[in-house]
Amino acid sequence: MPTPPPRILIADDQPDVLKALKLLLKGEGFETRMASSPIDVVEAVRTEDFDAVLIDLNYTRDTTSGREGIGLLKQLRQIDGELPVLVMTGWSSVDIAVEAMQQGARDFIQKPWDNERLLSILKTQIELGRALRRGRRLEAENEILRNVGETTMIADSAAMKPVLDLIERIGPSDANVLLTGAHGTGKGLIAKILHQVSNRAEKPLITVNAGGLPETIFESELFGHVQGAFTDATTNRVGRFELADGGTLFLDEIGNISPVMQTKLLQVVETGQFEPVGSSKTKTVDVRIISATNMDIRKAIDEGRFREDLLFRLNTIEIGLPPLVERREDIPQLAGHFLQRLLSRYDKSIGGFDRASMQALLDYPWPGNVRELEHVIERAVLMASGDTIRTGDLGIGALSETPPDLEGMTLDEVEALLVRKAMARHGGNVNQAAKALGLSRSGLYRRLDKLGMVSGDDAAAES
**How far is the C-alpha of 382 from the C-alpha of 243, rounded, in Å?**
38
Where are the chain's structural domains?
Answer: 7-134, 158-322, 325-462
Residue-level pLDDT at 431:
81
The number of residues in the chain equals 463
Fold designation for 158-322: Rossmann fold (3.40.50)
The pLDDT of residue 460 is above 70: no
pLDDT tens per residue across span 116-142: 989 988 988 888 888 777 766 666 555
In this prediction the pTM is 0.64
For 217, other C-beta atoms within 10 Å of its C-beta total: 14
The pLDDT of residue 146 is above 70: no
Supply the CATH classification number for the domain 325-462. Answer: 1.10.8.60
Residue 204, preceding bond cis, omega within 30 degrees?
A: no
Instruction: Determine contact, residues 172/197, Cβ cutoff 8 Å.
Output: yes
Matching CATH topology for 7-134 and 158-322?
yes
The pLDDT of residue 187 is above 90: yes
CA proximity to 441, closest of 449, 453, 432, 428: 432
Residue type (1 letter), 280: S
**How far is the C-alpha of 425 from the C-alpha of 446, rounded, in Å?**
19
The pLDDT of residue 424 is above 80: no
Longest dimension (CA), the chain: 94
Exposed e or buried b per residue across 177-209, where buried means at least 16 C-beta atoms within 10 angstroms of its C-beta: bbbbbbbbbbbbbbbbbbbeebebeebbbbbbb
Q: For residue 226, what pLDDT band results from cuts at 50, 70 and 90?
A: confident
Query: How large is the average pLDDT for residues 195-210?
Result: 90
- Most confident region among 22-26, 37-41, 234-238, 285-289 by mean pLDDT: 285-289
Residue-level pLDDT at 13:
86
**How far is the C-alpha of 110 from the C-alpha of 104, rounded, in Å?**
17
Chain centre to alpha carbon of residue 129: 24
Residue-level pLDDT at 131:
78
Please give, one letter per residue, the 3-state secondary structure of 128-194. Answer: HHHHHHHHHHHHHHHHHHCCCCCCCCCCCCHHHHHHHHHHHHHCCCCCCEEEECCCCCCHHHHHHHH
CA proximity to 113, closest of 86, 85, 88, 92: 88
pLDDT tens per residue across span 252-298: 999 999 999 999 999 999 999 999 988 888 899 999 999 999 999 99
Residue-level pLDDT at 148:
45
Residue type (1 letter), 33: R
Instruction: Determine contact, residues 279/226, Cβ cutoff 8 Å.
Output: yes
Percent of the chain with pLDDT over 90: 40
**How far is the C-alpha of 445 from the C-alpha of 463, rounded, in Å?**
8
Residue-level pLDDT at 377:
94
Residue-level pLDDT at 88:
84
Instruction: Determine contact, residues 198/173, Cβ cutoff 8 Å.
Output: yes
The pLDDT of residue 439 is above 70: yes
Q: For residue 455, what pLDDT band results from cuts at 50, 70 and 90?
A: very low
CATH 3.40.50.2300 fits 7-134, yes or no: yes
What residues form DSSP beta bridges with 277? 225
- Most confident region among 129-133, 219-223, 236-240 by mean pLDDT: 219-223
pLDDT tens per residue across span 360-398: 999 899 988 999 999 999 989 998 888 999 998 998 854
The pLDDT of residue 453 is above 70: no
The pLDDT of residue 10 is above 70: yes
pLDDT tens per residue across span 305-349: 999 999 999 999 999 999 999 999 999 999 999 999 999 888 889
Burial of 347 (0-12, 13-18, 19+ CB in 10 A): exposed
The pLDDT of residue 151 is above 70: no
Residue-level pLDDT at 77:
83
Q: For residue 144, what pLDDT band results from cuts at 50, 70 and 90?
A: very low
Residue-level pLDDT at 80:
80
Q: Measuring CA to CA, how many Å separate 166 from each of 177, 184, 294, 317, 374?
A: 10, 20, 19, 9, 25
Residue-level pLDDT at 326:
94
